[in-house]
Amino acid sequence: MQANSNKQLSFVKAYFSFLLLKKRWIFLSAIIGMLLGLSYVLLKPIKYIARSSFVVEDSKSIGGSGILGALSGQFSSEIMSALGGGSNLLSGENILELSKSRSLLRKTFLTSYDGTNKSLADVYAEKLKLKKKWKKSKKVGLDIQFDTGNKKFSRIQDSLLNTLIERVINKDLSIYKPDRRLSLFELNITMRDELLASKFCQRLLSTISEFYINTKTKRLRGNISRLQFLADSLQENSNSSIKNSAQSSLSLTDISPQYIQENVQNTIDSREEILSTTIYTEVIKNLEITKLSLLQETPTIQLIDNPDTPLEDNKNEWHEGLLGGFGVGFLLSIVVLIFLYEPAVHPKSESVLQ
């Protein structure tokens, strides 16, 4: 054991002596690392991070507390389900995937940047210097614009816009839940322009919210439209029946009993009035129930943190580049020298390196 300890100690001394002999190489590597670190800090493009946090509150179940919970005890579950209650095709978790939807990102990209036809996609491509690259490319060779007023793009424009969308999904966009137990989400957009990052984050969240709420309430809103149209038609029919019944009643005031036909017509008009009024009442009741169900089923997306400027950026100070480069160069040179020096196996390696 003593022999092994002495052997290990001799190895350490040998390596230490070797590194002292190569101190010039180590110092030179550290200087080169400092220069590379400083160059990296100065040349690295600055990226701005737009952060937005929000809460998604989904509708409660049909059997839970509240207005619909009380109504479900009076009406069958089939009727309430048909009205839209209990539908949970979209849950808050789907926000994570909706944020990466190409159609929603495309819609966000084609919104105006400054109130003109200049879109967010135009600014994004300019900041990445892609427009110059496309113009010089043999495959494109055109000055590509993504104007907001353009309703139909060419095949090349669609292809390049899809390229921008793919880049955002893979590099610039992230969304996650800080705590799986909560309905809190955080959306991060990283871009080279501060104002672009802020606007893109806000527009994307607005687009997601609009799509999510419209999809969750689409069936209920359709039911309300149909019931409202039916109620308006029945109201006109009921009003007409009431007028006919009133006219029939007046015609019986001075009529002779031998004219039975007038009595029959009065009875028919009265029955139609009762039927129209009864049906109209039931439709109005279902319409109000559906409106209550729409209020219950409409989710709420509450914004907590807005990506206001100035935004956080990834800019490093020049002294951080110097210190980081010095440390990397110093350590890397030591590792390389130790890897090359093997005194037990190649005793002449030191003379070769000198």
Could you tell me if 251 and 259 are in contact, meaning their C-beta atoms sit under 8 angstroms apart?
no
State yes or no: pLDDT of 70 exceeds 70: no
- DSSP assignments along 312-354, one per residue: EE----HHHHHHHHHHHHHHHHHHHHHHH--TTT-TTHHHHH-
- pLDDT of residue 169 exceeding 90, the answer is yes
Q: Which residues contact 152 (CB under 8 A, 6 or more apart)?
A: none
DSSP single-letter state for residue 308: P
DSSP 108-123: HHTSBSSSSS-BHHHH
Find the DSSP H helices in the chain.
2-21, 23-43, 67-71, 77-82, 95-98, 102-109, 120-127, 130-136, 155-167, 194-251, 260-297, 318-340, 349-353
Q: Is the pLDDT of residue 328 over 60?
A: yes
pLDDT at 348: 42
* 8 Å CB contact between 232 and 243: no
**Per-residue pLDDT reduced to its tens digit, 141-168:** 888 999 988 878 889 999 999 999 999 9
Give pLDDT tens digits for 40-56.
777 778 889 999 999 88
Distance CA 223, CA 175 (A): 34
Single-letter amino acid code for the residue at 84: G
pLDDT band at 112 (very low <50, low <70, confident <90, very high): very high
Beta-carbon contacts of 150 under 8 Å, excluding residues fewer than 6 positions away, are: 117
pLDDT, tens only, 252-291: 455 455 444 455 455 555 666 677 778 878 888 888 888 8
Give 314's strand partners. none
pLDDT band (50, 70, 90) for residue 5: low
Tell me the C-alpha distance between 210 and 222, whole Å.
17
Share of the chain above pLDDT 90, in %: 21
Query: For the chain, what is the mean pLDDT?
Result: 76
Q: Using CA of residue 341, residue 342, residue 344, residue 345, what is the dihedral sign?
A: negative
Burial of 253 (0-12, 13-18, 19+ CB in 10 A): exposed
Give the global pTM: 0.67
More confidently predicted of 210 and 261: 210
